[in-house]
Amino acid sequence: MKRLKYIFAMLSLCAVSGCSFLDLEPSDFVNNGEYYKTEADLQAALNGVYSELASGNLYKSYFIARAGLDADQGFQQRDGDAKTLGEYYVVATDIKVLSIWQTLYRGINNANILLENVDNEAIDIEPDARRRIKAETLFLRAYYYFLLVQNWGDVPYITVPTEGARPEDVQVARTPALDVYDRIIKDMNDALPYVADIDELGYGGKISRSAVHGILARVHLYVAGEPYNRTEDYEHAREHARAVIESGKHRLNPDFQQIFINYAQDKYDIGESIWEVEFYGNGTGLYASLGGYVGCANGIRNSSEKNNVGYTFEYMNATKYAYDLYKQVGTKMDIRRDLTIAPFRYSTPSGSTVNDAPNKVAWKSTEIFNRNAGKFRREYEILLPKHKSYTPQNFPLLRYSDVLLMFAEADNEVKKGPSAEAYEAVNQVVRRAYGEDPMTPNATYDWAGMDYEAFKSEIRNERGRELCFEALRKRDLVRWGVFMSQMKRCLADAQAAPNFGDRNHAIDTFSNASERDVLWPIPSYEMGLNPKLTQNTGW
């Protein structure tokens, strides 16, 4: 069951602050020290910090299909959203760039307000509960800064609420990116001892000790790679990933497809899914705005509501590069390929109703670029009736397979060659990909006999196969220093492909990408408000 306490707490927060729950993204947040009197008040405020993750400007919509984060594995093909961020047609006045920036700083400001009030001794709360709320807030603020610094580089680092602040406290210059990363790392480490173990929580919708370790591994990998090249961070990445592995609380779901069925059907699997953004409902009733667009914005083409699958806007198509990453070994094809990249589209026969199943029309072998992202399928949903736009599907922020792959990558970098531990970590992921028991060695599929360079190359490919369409790919390419070479490769593939309906979108996307796109431009609107801001190179 979805954590309804989140919903009711947000309703309570809105009632106090005067925001309307009819608004998709309420902007008000309690900043009155006299309001915070009980643990419930603090918890309501914490839920307000979490809520920005589910904003349409982040994981509800933009990040999952409309911000170009899939890079060499996907392209946006919808005409109604053309010539914007998703097609790498970016300008400093782009509304998506501004909206993402403002949402992240709103999350940071909400966190700063709570951190300013959480230690008030007049609040009736047990010390352990106070420390946990403070730790989760500190981590979330760090995570919002992590999203900012990876997409904009140097950004203003603000730790005081903006309401009532002096101009000099909020109109600040951009803090060097490495300094921001160091503060992110410090805050996450400070939070680590006080957050709950994931088995105590029982679900992945809140921060756990495993989530903090896993995201810290990701942060350190970003710092270790381009453009910072602080290679000593590989050791830290390895140790944080190892902490998750050795906790004994996680194990791969043996069925890759079931991971995404679980997200669609409100089922928690804390062995696999360590942290996820929660969405609720089907766009009707009191909680209408808590639905997301997962499976609708990034699902399989279905342009009719007259079938039982559920409508999709299908913004995201796959590239030939992504498709070709998946390999056949012996008689078995990697089962992730046709689950991740849909081999069919839906077609609704005349006279169908919402109770009827559509036909599944297979794509031809030459129609690679026509295929949609397939992991998040509306056919998995069981909540009825299905809304045209809103879905109850959750979106993964950290899966255990990612932790295993991060450990293997970092271990290879530290030791300049793969160890037995690195092989075992990646082989668990690979075995599952061919339908085998992840925990049982299998000579047919297990990697072996690679040197440092070969293992590094293959681990990058394996991340592409396992984590495709999970909003991680672009930053991986940037930290590996191969962003532009990969975008050019996809352009050549699109230009050489047979003509297809979305070919122009693919060519536009990969033609538009340039070296400056490793970072987004500082929004012009924000530069107008803060004269101390400077623009990124090339914008």
H-helix segments, 202-342: 209-224, 233-246, 256-264, 320-325, 336-340
Task: Tell me what pLDDT residue 314 has.
Answer: 82
Q: Which pair of structure tokens corresponds to residue 394?
A: 């959750």
Peptide bond before 521: cis, by omega within 30 degrees of 0? Answer: no
Q: Which of 374, 321, 312, 317 is nearest to 343 (CA)?
A: 374
CA distance 439 to 370: 36
Task: Tell me what pLDDT residue 24 has.
Answer: 33
342: helix, strand or coil: coil
* CATH number of the domain enclosing 150: 1.25.40.390
Domain-embedded: residue 298: no
Domain-embedded: residue 300: no
Q: Which pair of structure tokens corresponds to residue 309?
A: 């699958």
CA distance 463 to 29: 38
Task: Tell me what pLDDT residue 26 has.
Answer: 39
**Contact predicate 391/294, CB 8 Å:** yes
Domain-embedded: residue 450: no
The residue written with tokens 């599952």 in the block is 432
Q: Which pair of structure tokens corresponds to residue 194?
A: 């006080």
Q: Which of 350, 351, 339, 352 is nearest to 380 (CA)?
A: 339
Q: Please give the model's pTM, rounded to 2 decimal places.
A: 0.94
Domain-embedded: residue 294: no
pLDDT band of residue 14 (cuts 50, 70, 90) is very low
CA distance 500 to 494: 10
275: helix, strand or coil: strand
The angle that helices 420-433 and 400-415 make with each other, rounded to 10 degrees, is 150
For the stretch 297-312, pLDDT in tens is 999 999 999 999 999 9
**Sign of the CA dihedral 207, 208, 210, 212?**
positive
Question: Does position 28 have pLDDT exceeding 60, yes or no?
Answer: no
Q: Which of 144, 114, 107 is nearest to 30 (CA)?
A: 114
The residue written with tokens 């047609």 in the block is 89
Residue type at position 127 = P
**Contact predicate 304/408, CB 8 Å:** no
Chain-centroid distance of CA 444 in Å reads 32
Domain-embedded: residue 339: no
- % pLDDT > 90, the chain: 86
Task: Tell me what pLDDT residue 30 has.
Answer: 57
523 contact partners, CB below 8 Å, separation of at least 6: 92, 93, 94, 97, 98, 101, 102
Chain-centroid distance of CA 173 in Å reads 28
**Contact predicate 501/365, CB 8 Å:** no
Domain-embedded: residue 140: yes
Task: Tell me what pLDDT residue 378 has.
Answer: 96
Task: Tell me what pLDDT residue 289 has.
Answer: 77
CA distance 188 to 221: 15
Domain-embedded: residue 366: no
Domain-embedded: residue 284: no
For the stretch 257-283, pLDDT in tens is 999 999 999 999 999 999 999 999 888
Please give the mean pLDDT across all residues of the chain.
92
Question: Does position 6 have pLDDT exceeding 70, yes or no?
Answer: no
Residue type at position 439 = M
How many angstroms separate the Cα of 126 from the Cα of each of 35, 40, 129, 223, 415?
Answer: 18, 12, 5, 37, 45
For the stretch 160-183, pLDDT in tens is 998 877 877 788 999 999 999 999
Q: Which of 214, 207, 151, 148 is nearest to 180 (CA)?
A: 148
Give the domain extent around 34: 1-195+487-539
H, E, C per residue of 448-495: CCCCHHHHHHHHHHHHHHHHCCCCCHHHHHHHHCCHHHHHHHHHHHHH
The angle that helices 39-51 and 95-117 make with each other, rounded to 10 degrees, is 160
CA distance 474 to 70: 6
pLDDT band of residue 11 (cuts 50, 70, 90) is very low
> Into how many domains does the chain fold?
1
pLDDT band of residue 403 (cuts 50, 70, 90) is very high
CA distance 418 to 455: 7
For the stretch 205-214, pLDDT in tens is 999 999 999 9
pLDDT band of residue 31 (cuts 50, 70, 90) is low
For the stretch 462-503, pLDDT in tens is 999 999 999 999 999 999 999 999 999 999 999 999 887 788
Q: 355: exposed, middle or buried (C-beta count within 10 Å: 0-12, 13-18, 19+)?
A: exposed
Encode 125-146: b = buried (16+ Cβ within 10 Å), e = exposed: beeeebbbbbbbbbbbbbbbbb
pLDDT band of residue 8 (cuts 50, 70, 90) is very low
For the stretch 43-101, pLDDT in tens is 999 999 999 999 999 999 999 999 999 999 999 987 778 888 999 999 999 999 999 99
**Contact predicate 320/368, CB 8 Å:** yes
